Structure 1
């Protein structure tokens, strides 16, 4: 009897449970799409601040209001203007269909990062899924469902007014998270700033997007602290049906570069077929100037006996600059573990990246060093006007090609949530101020909108070259006055950075911190001391003086060899001192500010670095340092060093492109950085090679042809009238062109970088 009773109870329980399940299934909600025509009927479900009971909920939790209901409630009770009503209607329609789990609504919401993630770990960019937002399968057939992708910059501000005190441990787990949000690391990364991407209806205006994002942020975990938010949508939202149209600049670049390529290929073919070209005929000289094979061979020629180490120094210095810019631009973009990077900023590698700007002074030194050896070996003083023209063309051809590329082609090379910012940061300044760059004035005029941030080096080098050669020519004609002026200029060049730092109370140096990497044009120190020619001249002067010293020592029988032990000692001393300069600079980040101390360091750190590089070059060139000299003189450095100038110009464009096309925050680690660096160096060197073969070498060759035949005509004219103007001809000969009097070896090794 007991068994029968238990069996009956179990049977009744099963029947009741099955009945409840089937009833629930029959009464389940059907996924439907709410039409636009019935919009008013569908959205007027709130009365006197009371939510409609029948609204479909995504989930229930003890009958308490849930996320979507709260968002709907707040949206409805915002003060929307008349022009914002279409956005409100479309957004409410989206949320209602999301509650019903309709595909198009879920698709759009799925593309949104519902709330910031990883903010406390240094992840600033919360981009959602850009491609999902922009690539809905029905965007062509259902125009009313089209969306747009918008970016909002948000600053969080605490409202509780706590007593300000120094926080010994920002990661104390029992303190308020607001303290960590306010904390700025040594790397100067702010955790209370974020960039949030959202997929919204295409009819929404920036003001409406700001309102929507404020509501979403208030319903995230950050909304529990009552933070005050400053939200701004400053750039146009991206829409699928609004691609960037090809403009005249695009077709002009294709036409110009295509024409140069065809011309180079045609001249190469003609030279291959005609073996008897005459260098003394202008038409044959033009063909040879564009010959790809000849220009490629010039990259492989070794020259400058005794200075082979410069090849390795130049290219490896360029690699250091590329790695530093890769490190900086990469970590200024979307990174998931920014706080980890802040910790690594205090390691040996991190300190090197913080003060890598001093490496650029190595290029200034080498440029001055080579210019001195060139002038010392020249038989006569150069014609200053001709020299300026040759130097300008030598610098400007590749420079103009890269600027043209950034203006015309770069906007079409990528897409992504941050791509409009790439165009605003690189293309727009170039389209505005390209002429300042080509006039070598970009580091002085409107430098806040300088085209290509790294290009500040080019006008500096051009200014240094002209001024130094002019001073040298003046010294040759008036030795005593020349020495006095050279001394005054040298002292002024060393003191200028320190004086400016002291007057404006600037930091000791421009460190590559987070705020500088994200907006280099916004740094006051960048414009006051970092890019100005008069504050960077010291390294070039030291290079010029060391080049003169090297030339006289190499020509002397007594000082042309440095004993091995002294060479090793000098090389070790220079490397050690360079390390001291590089690692002491970042210490100013955590030291208390002292204006006099900062001014002294600003005045001396670059000249000391340049002096150490000069000592290293002289020890390696006139002496013997095992392993180092052989490594730096390795033959593969020869062509790579000659491509350094093109690599310098183009590498930052490639790095920025890779960063701005990213869809999600990337993980920072040194192997990842190194892998990217190797790719940029290879791509940049290949681009530099193409620029050299198609534009740079041919145009420089044409300039040489022009000077050559111009000089020949002058010589013929002078020969005809030699009997009557003999004395005048002697004076003109003393002002002969620099390229006629310099040894070929020195001319080849001289470089822009």
Structure 2
């Protein structure tokens, strides 16, 4: 449609002159003021000479920037609409500098975005040059001002009256209009970068552009609206630490000192022991050594095969976490600015890409493993002891998980925001900081998946709350299973059936999606996604894998106690059924991304209920086969030596991965070109960064707390306490 191209070119022209590139900068007050600029009158002399400028020549674009001629007269009425006086004054200085080709003014002009090419393929972002804009410092009379980077949304809202050409199916307007569908690429919104003086706000820019577009809209049947959110406008700021930042840095400095002292003490005591022999155990000594970096590093990499043959869990945790990290990378990369959004649309319909689009099953794997390990180890403890102090078990879990978790939350709420900048930094990291400041206490209490879900701190933290809720419930199932098997089995079956029925009913009644759908327009901010908030993060919607894990642990315990062996027929049937269930659960999601699929509440409800069951059947058989020495090559892969220390980092990796993803999204300077190779490179780099940061977090907080708990449990055991000891690979979280 010619009118679209003409209008967008007109929009680009307007941006290039007044604001340094993408559109007009709010700030030129009157025609006479602009005429004085053309005459070369400095800003501080304009008020005095205002009466003598009426005979100046009419404004032409050549007078301002001969290399890029533009007709600015059409924008003069809009200039008068800008209300902020200081913004107008700085804009005058900008135009005067641009007229004289002053370096800083031309940089503002140069740094802004232009109308992007490839809009009909989904390339709707023109981000300009963020750093060039914010690094501008304009020396003017009476001081200076900075460049402010703003990202405006140009909304192609529709046609007032379609002519015969535009009504044709082949019309370009049909391509833009089709973007209203959920699965379609959004083509009706263009994001353009502006570089404006720092005194101007996003509201000033929006007012000016809206006024400008009114004139453009009156000349065409095509309508354009403009939105400029203040969170999308940024200036360069010097790092200023507030009380929260200082407190966080002080705590980190204290722990760094503690780690250093403990490591030195460990070295000294190790030398003394070699020379003088072993020393009697001491609580103070063990507490201090718990923070020794060398000692914790040795524990991390140490691997001694266990007697109970459940070491395959190491590999399952690591590979599941790796796939989760790939899913997170895909989520943020596809929800950000891209050059070829049609790649994402085509990828959704390919069978093999279900690993990305049904990624929630790998999170369910951790819930399955959590239930399995807790049941398995608690049964072992109940076999050894007459009773278990359940409240103490809850307290130990809280102490075990909370320190590293709280440190990451505090990092989100304090210094993270001060460490970098970028076009989306305020909208990504700044928004996350506000959410954490508002709802951090729900995370600490592990209720953040039900309370204040409109401001979730750490998008992935819902899992920790879900796992905690199910952990609190688990002893009430496992203890009856051990003492009164019939009662425990009945209770477990009721809970399992309920956990299947509830997602079915909720999805059917509320007409929800069968799973969290990866539509690019809906995953820009995953924490506001309706399905994510309503169903995805809720404990009652995610409980099935955990109960399946408890059942698996109970079956394995009883099978090992019986001394039976699996026949070849049973093995064949187990592998066949397990593989079929897992494959169908993982890859059947492709049907919901088909362009021919028509939504059905019944279809969605069935999938929401049974997809997890199928995956749990396949995963449970894999664990059962490996734990009974029937895993073959898969067991060797899952117990591969390098996998063991990495699997111990999965909890910390899960905590810090959000930092890696948010930082990447917030600092993205240019649209990405999506491809399989691009996803592979990005996922690999994010995984390496995530596990590197996880190692630091683990050595500083997670491993010391675990060492302290182990020392206390040993002390309690010597006093014949009845508290359960959850072993290293019995952690109920990805740790």
- TM-score (ref. length: structure 1): 0.83
Change (3 A) 1:110 1:483: same
2:44 aligns to what SS in structure 1? coil
Please say if 1:750 is aligned against 2:731: yes
Residue of structure 1 in register with 2:591 after alignment: 587
Match of 1:446 among 445, 452, 457: 452
State how far apart, in whole Å, the 2-side matches of 1:215 and 1:113 are.
20
Match of 2:209 among 210, 213, 217: 213
Match of 2:724 among 718, 735, 738: 738
Tell me the CA shift for residue 697 of structure 1: 1.7
The C-alpha deviation readout for 1:622-676, integer Å capped at 9, x for no partner, is 2434432222221111101011111111112112201211222122222222222
State how far apart, in whole Å, the 1-side matches of 2:549 and 2:266 are.
41
1:309-320 superposed matches below 5 A: 309-320=312-323
The C-alpha deviation readout for 1:6-33, integer Å capped at 9, x for no partner, is xxxxxxxxxxxxxxxxxxxxxxxx9985
Residue of structure 1 in register with 2:524 after alignment: 518
- Mapped contact 2:122–2:341 kept (Cα < 8 A): yes
State how far apart, in whole Å, the 2-side matches of 1:222 and 1:573 are.
66
Change (3 A) 1:420 1:46: farther
Please say if 1:669 is aligned against 2:664: no
Change (3 A) 1:511 1:141: same
Of residues 619-628 and 453-462 in structure 1, the stretch that sits farther from structure 2 once superposed is 619-628
Please say if 1:69 is aligned against 2:71: yes
State how far apart, in whole Å, the 2-side matches of 1:141 and 1:566 are.
87
1:228 aligns to what SS in structure 2? strand
Please say if 1:328 is aligned against 2:331: yes
Residue of structure 2 in register with 1:36 after alignment: 43
Change (3 A) 1:254 1:59: closer
State how far apart, in whole Å, the 2-side matches of 1:367 and 1:53 are.
72
Change (3 A) 1:609 1:237: same
Residue of structure 2 in register with 1:20 after alignment: none
State how far apart, in whole Å, the 1-side matches of 2:51 and 2:675 are.
49
State how far apart, in whole Å, the 1-side matches of 2:59 and 2:298 are.
82
Of residues 383-392 and 669-678 in structure 1, the stretch that sits farther from structure 2 once superposed is 669-678
Residue of structure 1 in register with 2:250 after alignment: 255
Residue of structure 1 in register with 2:491 after alignment: 485
The C-alpha deviation readout for 1:548-582, integer Å capped at 9, x for no partner, is 111222233223x554x754663354334322222
Residue of structure 2 in register with 1:405 after alignment: 411
Residue of structure 1 in register with 2:582 after alignment: 578
Change (3 A) 1:32 1:129: farther
Please say if 1:460 is aligned against 2:463: no
- Mapped contact 1:332–1:514 kept (Cα < 8 A): yes
Residue of structure 1 in register with 2:9 after alignment: none
Tell me the CA shift for residue 143 of structure 1: 3.6
Rg: which structure is higher?
A: 1
Of residues 321-330 and 380-389 in structure 1, the stretch that sits farther from structure 2 once superposed is 380-389
Residue of structure 2 in register with 1:245 after alignment: 240
Please say if 1:204 is aligned against 2:210: no
1:532-681 superposed matches below 5 A: 532-559=538-565, 561=566, 563=568, 567=571, 570-571=574-575, 573-589=577-593, 590=595, 591-681=597-687
For structure 2, list consecutive stretches of 5 or more residues without a partner in the other structure. Answer: 1-36
Of residues 222-231 and 303-312 in structure 1, the stretch that sits farther from structure 2 once superposed is 222-231
- Mapped contact 1:113–1:127 kept (Cα < 8 A): yes
- Mapped contact 1:31–1:100 kept (Cα < 8 A): no
- Mapped contact 1:121–1:338 kept (Cα < 8 A): yes
Match of 1:272 among 267, 273, 277: 267
- Mapped contact 1:186–1:342 kept (Cα < 8 A): no
Residue of structure 2 in register with 1:369 after alignment: 372
State how far apart, in whole Å, the 1-side matches of 2:406 and 2:66 are.
64
1:336-415 superposed matches below 5 A: 336-378=339-381, 379-380=384-385, 381-415=387-421
State how far apart, in whole Å, the 2-side matches of 1:665 and 1:278 are.
61
1:738 aligns to what SS in structure 2? coil
State how far apart, in whole Å, the 1-side matches of 2:280 and 2:446 are.
33
Residue of structure 2 in register with 1:180 after alignment: 176
2:231 aligns to what SS in structure 1? coil
State how far apart, in whole Å, the 2-side matches of 1:468 and 1:594 are.
35
State how far apart, in whole Å, the 2-side matches of 1:356 and 1:617 are.
20
State how far apart, in whole Å, the 2-side matches of 1:32 and 1:79 are.
20
Change (3 A) 1:678 1:706: same
Tell me the CA shift for residue 67 of structure 1: 6.3
The C-alpha deviation readout for 1:76-109, integer Å capped at 9, x for no partner, is 355526x334434543554465455444432221
1:198 aligns to what SS in structure 2? strand
State how far apart, in whole Å, the 2-side matches of 1:43 and 1:124 are.
46
The C-alpha deviation readout for 1:692-738, integer Å capped at 9, x for no partner, is 222112123223434544565x66xxxxxxxxxxxxxxxxx7xx111
For structure 1, list consecutive stretches of 5 or more residues without a partner in the other structure. Answer: 1-29, 716-732
- Mapped contact 1:51–1:73 kept (Cα < 8 A): no
When the two chains are superposed, the root-mean-square deviation of aligned CA atoms in Å is 3.4
Residue of structure 1 in register with 2:27 after alignment: none
Tell me the CA shift for residue 206 of structure 1: 2.7
State how far apart, in whole Å, the 2-side matches of 1:163 and 1:737 are.
79
Tell me the CA shift for residue 192 of structure 1: 1.1
Residue of structure 1 in register with 2:289 after alignment: 288
Change (3 A) 1:175 1:643: same
- Mapped contact 1:333–1:660 kept (Cα < 8 A): no
1:156 aligns to what SS in structure 2? strand
Tell me the CA shift for residue 217 of structure 1: 6.6
> When the two structures are aligned, how many residues end up with a matched partner?
684
- TM-score (ref. length: structure 2): 0.85
Tell me the CA shift for residue 418 of structure 1: 1.2
- Mapped contact 1:120–1:181 kept (Cα < 8 A): no
The C-alpha deviation readout for 1:145-192, integer Å capped at 9, x for no partner, is 53322232343201335599x99x9xx7x4133542542566443211
Of residues 369-378 and 216-225 in structure 1, the stretch that sits farther from structure 2 once superposed is 216-225
- Mapped contact 1:153–1:231 kept (Cα < 8 A): yes
State how far apart, in whole Å, the 1-side matches of 2:216 and 2:127 are.
16
Tell me the CA shift for residue 130 of structure 1: 1.3
Change (3 A) 1:354 1:512: same
Change (3 A) 1:645 1:138: same
The C-alpha deviation readout for 1:427-467, integer Å capped at 9, x for no partner, is 21112211211111111101121110101100111111120
Change (3 A) 1:435 1:636: same
State how far apart, in whole Å, the 2-side matches of 1:296 and 1:677 are.
26
